A = this chain, B = another copy of it.
Amino acid sequence: MFTLGRRFPLSNVQNIRNIFTWFSRKFPVEAPQTTLVFVEEVRRFIQECVCRVGVSQKKSRSIADFLLAADYRGVNGSGLNRLEMYLNDIHKRNVNIEAEPSVIKETASFAHVNGNSALGVTVGNFCIDLAVEKARNAGIGLVVAKQSHHFGMAAWYVSRAMAHGYIGLVLSNGPPQLMSPGVQTSSLGANCIAFGAKGLHTHFLLDIAMSVKDIGAIEWAYLLGEGIPDSWAADKRGLPTSVADVAICAQRLFPAGEHKGYCMAAMIDLLCGVMSGAGYSTHIPSSWSDSKSTNSNLGQIYIAIDPQFFLPDFEERLEDFNQTIKYSCPIDELDPVKIPGDIEKQHMQYVRDLRALPYPNALLMKYQVIADLLCVKPIQVAFNYPEKTKHYSE
């Protein structure tokens, strides 16, 4: 039906300048680096694309929801940017769009789930909802999943637990992207941890990878044609690089806090991968490479805790905790300490005001090509550039 090569712009376009050269030839204005797109238009585009590759209406809404949530929160790289990877994985049958997760074994508080290679968001939503249900009955619910897939922004699942007033904790392993200090290759995923809880007026919502920066942030820099600090990633020889393109090809990220980040990533892999029966370490194939086509068999852990199980005044205490940290003698008093989730809240306010999301033009160009391949109406930007003229068209 359609053919997508290995991550389109990386294989077909040597570097970002080529896209911009082509872009600026097509449009007789100096292109700004990002363009606004109305939220509903992005939703339409995502749903149409995934429907075109065979995903059901219901599942396509789930995919659009969680990709949009990432762009809404400003988690660059985990939103619309990931659509291409999912389309690729569906196309290569690395993920089974028909499958639903099933419970292997369960007790009142725990469950072991087989994701059956379903879409990551399908497995994720199933597992966190199951954890919430168990927490409702038993105080705490813990679900361990194998045969899962890349599930996008982990904070999405934590938010689902928070919506019920519960504390959420989600861990996932991933394909090898993290270099141990003293090593030339990646042997662990930049495994992530997301954690959230609601206070009386504010909340605490953490979502971090165990690398200095996750690969999504590097892809975002690449799409903007920007360099990266050489503390983020290495080239194929294991040496620090400041070229985003080189970093994306090499898939060698530095761990946060050196060996501490690496050890934390190993702990997450041990729990999510080794313990669950999923893939782990270098046994996980990379969705970022065009190697053999196989499902990724990721492992994940989903925990929901009803804080009322322990205390009646948890929300008040969390509020006090947030305020204590926030005003703990910052160097600039007008700029209080940021609680995890604060920066994302600012971005959400910005999006709400505009009803639109900012995307790098290179990303929009990529999806124009994909739209052509899938025979889907391309993304319409929130304001239009001048009509292209014969003079400038190719």
A interface residues (Cβ-Cβ under 8 A, vs B): 105, 107-110, 112, 138-140, 142, 144, 167, 180, 182-185, 187-188, 193, 195, 197, 204, 206, 208, 212, 238, 255-258, 260-261, 263-264, 266-267, 269-271, 273-277, 280-283, 305, 307, 309-311, 314, 317-318, 321, 324-325, 328-332, 335, 337, 339-340
A281 touches B184 (CB 8 A): no
Residue ID in chain B nearest A340 by CB atoms: B263
A182 touches B331 (CB 8 A): yes
A260 touches B263 (CB 8 A): no
Residue ID in chain B nearest A199 by CB atoms: B274
Residue ID in chain B nearest A179 by CB atoms: B328
A310 touches B184 (CB 8 A): no
A195 touches B267 (CB 8 A): yes
A318 touches B183 (CB 8 A): no
Bound complex: CA A273 to CA B325 (Å) = 14
Chain B residues lying within 8 Å of A204, measured Cβ to Cβ, are 266-267, 270
Bound complex: CA A238 to CA B332 (Å) = 13
Q: Which of B182, B206, B324, B335 contacts A263 (CB 8 A)?
A: B206
Please give me the 3 A-B residue pairs with the lowest Cβ-Cβ distance, nearest first: A257-B257, A256-B257, A187-B328
Chain B residues lying within 8 Å of A258, measured Cβ to Cβ, are 256-257
Query: In the complex, what's the smallest C-beta–C-beta distance from A373 to chain B, in angstroms?
Result: 37
Residue ID in chain B nearest A326 by CB atoms: B187
Q: Which of B276, B282, B321 contacts A328 (CB 8 A)?
A: B282
Chain B residues lying within 8 Å of A339, measured Cβ to Cβ, are 266
Query: In the complex, what's the smallest C-beta–C-beta distance from A309 to chain B, in angstroms?
Result: 7
Residue ID in chain B nearest A261 by CB atoms: B257
Residue ID in chain B nearest A183 by CB atoms: B330
Show 5 A/B contacts (Cβ-Cβ < 8 Å), sorted by A: A107-B109, A110-B138, A255-B257, A266-B325, A274-B318
Query: In the complex, what's the smallest C-beta–C-beta distance from A192 to chain B, in angstroms?
Result: 11
Chain B residues lying within 8 Å of A238, measured Cβ to Cβ, are 331
Counting chain B CB atoms within 10 Å of each CB, the highest count among A183, A195, A263, A270 belongs to A270
A267 touches B206 (CB 8 A): yes
